[in-house]
């Protein structure tokens, strides 16, 4: 059975609203990435459509299985197109066409809009029209991290539900359930996840430590600036920047005497060398550059050009 780690109160509130026929036509699930927004949205969609509904969806009936496999005809997942700057007006117009139709199987049509804070301006205006006059058989759930990037008029038409970071103890329990046995690894992952179950899962499934060690050894120890290995693939390059940002941030903490804040504590020698090789100002500037490079990668700027600049930055180490 699925577990709602740390979000039982939110789920129970949604269930109670449904049972009392007090559902809002639109909800905004607001909170950091990986804290259960999409998970809760899917679970609630399963609850609404479950054939053996009690206090929790059965997860075994036809509707529950279809929603789990993202093939239910009345549950739509909407997200930005690959490589786009955000959700375009064409995507929202497609939503409007679907929302005007009667449900095929369920009592509700449910639209789960991921990264709602990436709605482009025209798309936001278009969505606002739907929120102003929503059909009675439609439920919209917007998922977002940054409230400030959403039109105030859209916010005013949604019931906002805030998702906070998850207690570290729950994250550690989750990691143990996922088969992580070493205490040191559990501590490292839970610390790095920062209260995000989604990030903790990605760390485990993505073999984070092995990849991180390869980056540290290849780029920082051996100075092997091989674009084909580290920069050619967008996902790999993004991870590489993330690893580098982490260890240079640790070096800055070391420089400031804030050792307790360091994440990569199993690489203390490397962190000490970096802290000795760079001034405080240089470390701060390098971190800004790494963040800038990460943003450029997501915007599909020429990867080789970014990698060349990264190589020059790292090769300046004294």
CATH number of the domain that 35 lies in? Answer: 3.40.50.300
Residues 158, 16 share a domain:
yes
* Distance between first and last Cα of the chain: 54
183 inside domain: no
Same domain, 158 and 242: no
Residue 272 tokens read as 């000490």
- The torsion angles phi and psi of 311, rounded to 5 degrees, stand at -60, -45
Half-sphere exposure of 149 (CA within 13 A, CB side): 16
Residue 138 near residue 109, CB atoms below 8 Å: yes
Element spanning 152, H or E: helix 152-155
Asked if residue 136 and residue 20 are part of one domain, the reply reads yes
The domain boundary residue, chosen from 162, 192, 226: 162
13 and 77 both lie in a single domain: yes
Instruction: Provide the pLDDT for residue 11.
Output: 93
Low-confidence ranges of the chain (pLDDT < 70): 1-5, 316-318
User: Torsion angle, CA of 232/233/239/244, rounded to 10 degrees?
Assistant: 0
Q: Say if residue 12 is in the same domain as residue 122.
A: yes
152 and 241, same domain (yes or no): no
pLDDT tens-digit readout, 18-77: 999 999 999 999 998 888 899 999 999 999 999 988 889 999 999 999 999 999 999 999
Question: Is there a single domain that holds both residue 213 and residue 88?
Answer: no
Domain that holds residue 234: 207-314
Question: Considering the domain boundaries, does residue 193 fall inside one?
Answer: no
Please report, for residues 172, 175, 182, 197, 287, the alpha-carbon distance to residue 179 in angstroms, rounded to integers and kept in the order given: 11, 7, 9, 15, 34
Counting Cα atoms < 13 Å in the Cβ hemisphere of 280 gives 6
Q: Which helix (H) or strand (E) holds 26?
A: strand 26-30
Do the domain assignments include residue 222?
yes
Q: Please name the residue that has the structure tokens 């993505």.
A: 206
| 200: in domain | no
Provide the angle, in degrees to the nearest 10, between the axes of the packed helices 197-205 and 208-215.
70
Question: How much helix, strand and coil, in percent to the nearest 5, is found in the chain?
Answer: 55, 10, 35
Residue 284 lies in a domain: yes
User: Last residue of a domain, which of 107, 129, 162?
Assistant: 162
* Same domain, residue pair 213 and 141: no
Q: Which residue has the tokens 């482009």?
A: 120
236 in the same domain as 131: no
What local confidence, expressed as pLDDT, does residue 3 receive?
62
Residue 168, in any domain of the structure: no
Count the Cβ atoms, other than its own, within 10 Å of residue 36: 22
| 21's tokens | 């026929």
CATH for 261: 1.20.272.10
Residue 179 falls inside a structural domain: no
2 within domain boundaries: no
Q: Domain boundary at 162, 191, 224, which? A: 162
Containing H/E element for 176? helix 168-177
- Note whether 104 and 224 are same-domain residues: no
In whole angstroms, what is the distance from residue 190 CA to residue 270 CA?
22
Instruction: Please indicate, yes or no, whether residues 156 and 221 belong to a single structural domain of this protein.
Output: no
Task: Write down the residue that tokens 């240079």 correspond to.
Answer: 248
Domain count for the chain, please give it.
2
Burial of residue 227, with CB atoms counted within 10 A of its CB: 0-12 exposed, 13-18 middle, 19 or more buried: middle
Whether the CB-CB separation of 123 and 95 falls below 8 Å is answered with no
∠ CA 294-299-304, nearest 5°, is 70
Q: Specify the pLDDT at position 14.
A: 95
Scan for tokens 């449910």, then name that residue: 110
Residue 302: other Cβ atoms inside 10 A: 9
What's the CA gap between 96 and 99, in Å, rounded? Answer: 5
Rounded Cα distance, 85 and 82, in Å: 9
Give CA–CA dist 300/308, Å, rounded: 15
One domain for residues 153 and 14: yes
């Amino acid at each position: 059975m699925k577990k709602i780690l740390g979000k039982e109160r939110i789920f129970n509130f949604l269930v109670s609203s449904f049972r009392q026929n007090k559902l809002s036509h639109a909800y905004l699930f607001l909170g950091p990435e990986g804290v259960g927004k999409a998970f809760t949205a899917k679970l609630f969609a399963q609850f609404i459509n479950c054939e053996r509904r009690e206090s929790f969806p059965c997860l075994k009936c036809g509707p529950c299985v279809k929603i789990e496999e993202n093939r239910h005809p009345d549950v739509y997942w909407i997200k930005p197109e690959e490589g786009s700057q955000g959700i375009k007006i064409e995507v929202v117009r497609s939503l409007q066409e679907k929302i005007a139709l009667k449900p095929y199987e369920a009592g509700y049509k449910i639209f789960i809009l991921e990264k709602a804070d990436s709605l482009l301006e025209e798309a936001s205006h278009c969505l606002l029209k739907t929120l102003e006059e929503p059909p009675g058989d439609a439920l919209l759930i917007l998922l977002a991290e940054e409230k400030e990037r959403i039109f105030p008029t859209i916010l005013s038409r949604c019931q906002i539900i805030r998702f906070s970071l998850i207690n570290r103890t729950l994250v550690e329990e989750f990691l143990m359930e996922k088969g992580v046995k070493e205490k040191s690894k559990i501590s490292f992952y839970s610390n790095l996840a920062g209260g995000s179950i989604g990030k903790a899962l990605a760390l485990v499934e993505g073999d984070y430590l092995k990849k991180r060690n390869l980056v540290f050894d290849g780029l920082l120890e051996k100075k092997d600036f091989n674009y084909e290995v580290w920069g050619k693939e967008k996902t790999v390059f993004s991870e590489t920047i993330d690893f580098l940002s982490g260890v240079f941030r640790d070096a800055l903490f070391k420089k400031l005497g804030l050792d307790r804040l360091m994440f990569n504590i199993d690489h203390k020698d490397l962190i000490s060398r970096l802290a000795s090789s760079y001034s405080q100002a240089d470390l701060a500037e390098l971190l800004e550059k790494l963040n800038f490079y990460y943003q450029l990668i997501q915007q599909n700027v020429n990867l080789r050009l970014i990698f060349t600049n990264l190589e020059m930055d790292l090769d300046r180490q004294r």
